[in-house]
Amino acid sequence: VQDALGERRDVIVISWTLMSLDDYRTRVEERIGVAIDPRRLSSPASVAFAEQALERGHAVFVDGQIGGVVRELPTYPHGILFRVLPRGSALPPIGEVFAINKALFEKFQFGYPIPTADPELYSTYVHSEYARTWAIIAKALAATGNREDYTYALDMARALGPQAP
């Protein structure tokens, strides 16, 4: 989308796996001003990188593969990613997280059948991620007693997750 349509040039997608390559890491460092050498950090490099990016005012989102960030820093589901907040920040109330995701998912257009639970299909993975977001939100809403939003989130998790064949 960035290259073909010129949209969202403000978004920088970083493949953490490639950060071990000097050339790739140098390009990332030049683009966002965060210098990091994963071989020389006492804490997980991904956490240090996320903290530096946040300090420089960047919004940081990670997928579930960056477990150190999700475990060590405050995060909440935002689509299929997790929004990362600075260490010590309070998470937004679950009602706000619900509203953010509801507004986001209302823009999605699913003009195709939801995939079956076939582990060979990439679409199965993506829909598992959609369902995971709503399952996390439903679990948090269950504790609030907000039955209407809880039911909506649970229904979304069921509807968007891979379907039985």
> What pLDDT was estimated at residue 41?
57
Q: Residue for token digits 């390559």?
A: 21
Q: Would you state the torsion angle of the CA atoms of residues 107, 110, 114, 120, taken in this order, to the nearest 10 degrees?
A: -90
Token pair, residue 116, equals 């079956």
> What pLDDT was estimated at residue 12?
78
Nearest Cα to Cα of residue 53 among 86, 13, 22: 86
Q: List alpha helices for 86-146, DSSP H.
A: 94-106, 122-142
The arrangement of strands across the sheet holding 60-62 comes to 60-62, 81-84, 75-78
**Alpha-carbon torsion (62, 63, 65, 67), positive or negative:** positive
- For residue 135, the one-letter residue type is A
pLDDT tens for the 165 residues of the chain, in order: 677 888 877 777 788 888 878 898 888 888 888 877 666 655 678 888 889 889 988 899 998 777 789 999 999 999 999 999 999 999 999 999 999 999 999 999 988 999 998 888 899 999 999 999 999 999 999 999 999 999 999 999 999 999 887
Token pair, residue 146, equals 């907000």
Q: Give the largest Cα separation in the chain, rounded.
A: 51
Residue 32 to residue 49: CA distance in whole angstroms: 11
